[in-house]
Amino acid sequence: MPPLDLGVLISGRGSNLQAILDAIADGRLDARVRLVLSNRPGVEGLARAERAGVPTRVIAHRDFTDRDTFDAAVVDALRDAGATWVVLAGFMRLLTTTFLDAFPHRVVNIHPSLLPSFPGVDAQQQALDHGVRITGCTVHLVDAGTDTGPILAQAAVPVLDGDDHDTLAARILVQEHALLVRALSWIAEGRLQVTPPAAPGGRARAAIAGVGTALGLAAADTALGLAEGGRARGGVGEVGEGA
């Protein structure tokens, strides 16, 4: 299969972008980043792309009167660059159907929780506020809802006694980097299977050939590192990949 032609959308430091760039450079991901686009100028992620020799573009959302017009401009830029898949790597904007219809089932997001728990902003603090003992991250396809698209893979992270937002977010981020690259590698290998909604208004379903269900605990019963006495017991690993 030809390499994935990626457009990566960012709004900030771009650490997940860096994980993608490093994986491509190391030969772990068969892809080309055709464009890194930010809705905010001067962010660190743009500098990361420039150091890697990747084209960059800034399209400021504040220059547009509505979301659809902004999304149409972003779509044009991605298409002009030759991107056929889009990765949201810390892109802090909701996408409209103008965007999603241009890349049907080809927009990938990484979210710092085990969806469907804690969608939306500040998922790490939501987890702390709810007192959960396990959280994590999710790679999913993007649909018109807020973090409701088909799940491709998840990784679990224990919540430790004494965790605050920053310590928990830092440990989740380590898993985000690995999981996003793994999911993109599966897509590059042609293993993604998407089943369209059975009826109008329904949800699409996604599966990765050769990989267990999104929460396949039977296939990965040690991956969660279940909490015991407020601390994690066992390791932290991916949830969803079979042996």
Give φ, ψ of 88 to 5 degrees: -90, 110
- Chain-centre distance for alpha carbon 86: 10
Burial class (CB in 10 A: 0-12, 13-18, 19+), 33: buried
Pairing of strands 4-10, 134-141: unpaired
- Return the closest-CA partner of residue 36 out of 97, 83, 99: 83
Burial class (CB in 10 A: 0-12, 13-18, 19+), 131: exposed
Residue 59 one-letter amino acid: I
Kindly name the residue from 111, 130, 140, 177 that is annotated as catalytic: 111
- Return the closest-CA partner of residue 147 out of 117, 169, 170: 117
Known catalytic membership, residue 111: yes
Give φ, ψ of 108 to 5 degrees: -115, 135
SS3 (DSSP) at 57: strand
* DSSP per-residue codes, 146-182: SS-SPEEEEEEEEPPTT--HHHHHHHHHHHHHHHHHH
Q: How far, in Å, CA of 184 to CA of 188, rounded?
A: 6
Which are the catalytic amino acids? 111
